[in-house]
Amino acid sequence: MNIKYCSDYNEMSQLSCDSIVSDLKKSPKQLICTATGNSTTGTYENLAKAFNNDSRLFNELIIAKLDEWVGIEPNGLGSCESYIQEKILQPLEIPQNRYISFKSNPVSPQKECERIQIEIQKKGPIDICILGLGKNGHIGFNEPTNTLTPNCHLVELTTDSLNHQMINDLNIKPTYGLTLGMADILQSKKIILLLTGLEKKEIIKELLSKQISTNLPASFLWLHNRVECYIDSNSV
């Protein structure tokens, strides 16, 4: 894991954006898997600025959604879909045929996972996977547990995930999520991990200890040979 300590959130966001843009300049046809949340927002905002400077870089970019809450309206308050539409797809002008997305209200979650797996295999492998870190050490909705699931799956959410700021204002909160699995993430050619937030200080410290455990899913990123980890120094 290549760790870069950044002076603040803004530098973290800019450096991670620069890394993505550099790869796009070398090869515009990239499949990028995108997480949602505050950790990644600054990176996406900087990508939007890069698009305004040279939109041609993004003409072949394919976006895949990392995860989604189950049982909420696709474009409703708190959905990962609405976040990605607002922060990524619209600013970068990504059409539907260059977007792989979990449905938030599938009739069959199992079949939805199978569909996403097929789409990733057809258009993949994932070139860049952009990740934040959950307060409990999850990545995507791969939650701390005794065992981890390799591919797309339905997962029962932990209390920490249910207290996520994205769904704080919902009257009825989802209890399940859909997510790419650990093998899907680790098969990415490159992973960008963004660590920020004072409330994550202890879990960041635990991650940096390099001890690998299913109770800290993000620790499995130590097994990948190309992880760029950008740390907001105000968080450690």
Out of 23, 81, 112, 138, which one is annotated catalytic?
Answer: 138
Identify the sign of the CA torsion 206, 208, 214, 216: positive
pLDDT digits (tens, 9 = 90+) for 25-79: 999 999 999 999 999 999 999 999 999 999 999 999 999 999 999 988 877 778 8
Residue 77 is classified by DSSP as T
Contact predicate 155/179, CB 8 Å: yes
Secondary-structure class of domain 2-235 per CATH: alpha beta
pLDDT the model gives residue 62: 98
The one catalytic residue among 81, 112, 143, 228: 143
> Catalytic annotation on 138?
yes
At residue 168, the pLDDT reads 63
Q: Is 67 a catalytic residue?
A: yes
Catalytic residue among 23, 46, 136, 232: 136
Residue 224: active-site member: no
Interaxial angle between packed helices 38-53 and 9-26, expressed in degrees from 0 to 180 and rounded to the nearest 10: 50
Name the residue ranges covered by the structural domains of the chain.
2-235
Q: What is the pLDDT of residue 170?
A: 66
Active-site choice (23, 46, 67, 81): 67
pLDDT of residue 72: 84
What is residue 139's predicted lDDT score, i.e. its pLDDT? Answer: 96
pLDDT value, residue 160: 74
pTM score, whole prediction: 0.95
Do the Cβ atoms of 88 and 51 come closer than 8 Å?
A: no
User: Is 45 among the residues known to form the active site?
Assistant: no
Nearest in space to 188 (alpha carbons), one of 133, 140, 134, 136: 140
Positions of the chain with pLDDT under 70:
162, 167-172
What is the reported pLDDT for 171?
Answer: 66
